[in-house]
Amino acid sequence: MSQASSHRILTPTIIGYILSVLLTVGAYWLVTHHVALTYSTLYVSLAALALVQTFLQLFLFMRIGKGEDAAWNVATLIVTIIIISIVMIGSLWIMYNLNYNMVH
């Protein structure tokens, strides 16, 4: 492997690592310093930071959009996201209905 090839691979990894650490420290800071946010705003902020970090790691560490099988990788990622979303939304819906039926 040439030095230029190694440099192209190493740079996204270093950038991804630094950004992941910054996002993790940012989330930690939001929670520990009790910033003047409502609970719902805090939850949304933490979810947004987690989502950004997820995509950052997918594209910088796992290189989802790169390589010869990039289209298949992206298609697999989209199907996985759809299945996980269906399971999560269905679970929340079931738990809400169970809670409503148990209370009323």
Question: Which DSSP helix (H) or strand (E) runs through 23?
Answer: helix 3-32
pTM of the model: 0.66
Instruction: Give the confidence band of 54 by pLDDT, cuts at 50, 70, 90.
Output: confident
Distances (CA, A) of 99 to 27, 34, 43, 87, 88: 31, 30, 22, 18, 16
Average pLDDT over every residue of 77-101: 93
- Whether residue 70 is predicted with pLDDT greater than 70 in this model: the reply is yes
pLDDT-derived band of residue 76, with 50, 70 and 90 as boundaries? Answer: confident
* Percent of the chain topping pLDDT 90: 43
Stronger pLDDT, 26 or 55, i.e. the higher one: 26
Helices (H), 33-69: 39-56
56 contacts 16 by C-beta, under 8 angstroms: yes
Residue 60 and residue 15: Cα distance in Å, rounded? 8
pLDDT at 6: 57
